[in-house]
Amino acid sequence: MGQLKGKVAVVTGASKGIGANIAEHLGAEGASVVVNYASSKAGADAVVKRITDKGGKAIAVQADVSKQKDIARLFEETKKAFGKLDVLVNNAGIYEFLPLENVTTEHFHKLFDLNVLGLLLTTQEAVKFIGNGGGSIINIGSVAGSMPVRTGAVYSATKAAVDAVTIALSKELGPKKIRVNSLNPGMVETEGVRSAGIAESDFRKMVESNTPLGRIAQPDDISGAAVFFASDAAGWVTGQTLLVAGGMTS
Catalytic residue numbers read 155
User: Of the given ranges (14-28, 40-54, 199-213), which has the lowest mean pLDDT?
Assistant: 199-213
Q: Is residue 250 part of a domain?
A: no
Q: Which CATH number goes with the domain that contains 12?
A: 3.40.50.720
Tell me if 235 is assigned to some domain: yes
For 14, the domain range is: 8-243
Is 186 or 202 the better-scoring residue by pLDDT? 186
Q: Is residue 184 in a domain? A: yes
Q: Which residues of 37-69 are buried (b: 16+ CB within 10 A; e: fewer)?
A: bbebeebbbbbbebbeeeebbbbbbbbbbbeee
For residue 149, is it within any domain? yes
The string of pLDDT tens digits covering residues 101-139 is: 999 999 999 999 999 999 999 999 999 999 999 999 999
Helix (H) or strand (E) holding 96: none
Mean pLDDT, rounded, for 47-75? 98
pLDDT, tens only, 139-166: 999 999 999 989 999 999 999 999 999 9
In a domain, 186, yes or no: yes
Give 232's DSSP letter.
G
Query: Is residue 237 in some structural domain?
Result: yes
d(CA 15, CA 35): 7
Asked if the structure places residue 51 within a domain, the reply is: yes
pTM of the model: 0.95
Position 127, amino acid: V
Q: Quick check: is 46 in a domain?
A: yes
SS3 135: strand
| More confident site: 1 or 25 | 25
Write down the pLDDT at residue 168. Answer: 98
Q: How many Cβ atoms are within 10 Å of 212's Cβ, its own excluded? A: 9
Q: In a 3-state reduction of DSSP, which class is residue 94?
A: coil
How many domains does the chain contain in total? Answer: 1
